Chain A
């Protein structure tokens, strides 16, 4: 996809809708997942994902391919949108906190998602981690991004990303064992 992607990016920068559609189709699932892990509410995740790609379409001319991959650029937009969402919408914070508490304690299954109970369990455990650790785990293991891409998205060095990943996975393992033992 790399060479093809470069071509599509260039065409999208020139206003080609079809090319942007291809980029959108390729990246929307992972950006949606990233946002969903952050906000925990399907409707909010959909709205924010829409805003992220709208922003990407409107500003794609400002994206420079030489700096970092487009995935990193999209994650940067996503992170900013999520931060803005929590800054401006206090109501959503309280709802998310409630959802988070329920999931953490009882591993409550989401009604609006058709995913198995075990996945919800892992998702709940990930939410116990620091936001930065969550982001690295999601990008690395869910989205299969390489360290360079993650470093670009989080504006950190590759070494720092490796370290965060190592710590995050260890903490998650501990949490998993602890919860498995208690159940």
Chain B
């Protein structure tokens, strides 16, 4: 051998057989090609991204809205299930309203009497008579079931409950 480079070039004589080449090529060409990353693939990728973005936006809008929140809570929170019965809630809310109204009415009734007595006493005896203990005693002596104020409260209650 003249030199090593020439010797290496001799390795070119190694080749696959014609039969192998023909058989291999036939098998290769019988298999389908993968979809490349050309225009069509890019187009579909953009389309997919756009669709994903739109769906995400839609999901956010739905989840933010009240209807979905209730639906979501009802589905996902078993603890809240019992308390999320619409009929019960409405009934409870109605009862609470009435109680509040009665309490308010009672307060106004009592305070009206107190104010009336206080004004009366002030007119007669001057501001020196504004003793709370005396006022309480005088209120206790009043007829709570009858009188003008009691009738007014009944009327008010009737209006509210109708």
Contacts and interface: CB of A to CB of B under 8 A. Distances in A.
A169 interface: yes
B128 interface: no
Nearest to A17: B29
Contacts of B14: 32-33, 36, 113, 115, 119
A59 B31 CA distance: 12
Interface string A48-84: 0110011001111110000000000000000000000
A58 B36 CA distance: 9
Contacts of A57: 28-29, 31, 33
Contacts of A142: 8-9, 11-12
A173 B4 contact: yes
Interface in A29-55: 29, 32-33, 36-37, 45-46, 49-50, 53-54
B-side interface mostly: helix
Query: What class of interface size applies to chain B in its complex with A?
Result: 20 to 34
Interface residues of A, number: 43
Nearest to B3: A173
A126 B8 contact: yes
A44 B29 CA distance: 21
Nearest to A170: B4
Interface in B82-129: none
Interface string A146-183: 00000000000000000000000100110010000000
B4 A61 contact: no
B1 A53 contact: no
Contact of A59 (B5, B20, B34, B38): B34
A119 B21 CA distance: 23
A62 B13 CA distance: 32
Contacts of B34: 58-59, 61-62
Contact of A118 (B7, B28, B33): B7
B4 A172 contact: yes
B155 to A, nearest CB: 87
A9 interface: no
A93 to B, nearest CB: 22
Contacts of B10: 116, 118-119, 122
A123 B11 contact: yes
When A and B form their complex, which 3 residue pairs have the shortest distance between CB atoms, in order from nearest? Answer: A61-B36, A141-B8, A122-B7
Given A21-B25, A46-B24, A57-B29, 17 more contacts: A25-B21, A32-B15, A32-B16, A37-B11, A46-B20, A49-B16, A57-B31, A57-B33, A58-B32, A58-B34, A60-B33, A61-B35, A115-B14, A122-B10, A142-B12, A172-B4, A176-B7
Interface of B: 1, 4-5, 7-16, 20-21, 24-25, 27-29, 31-38
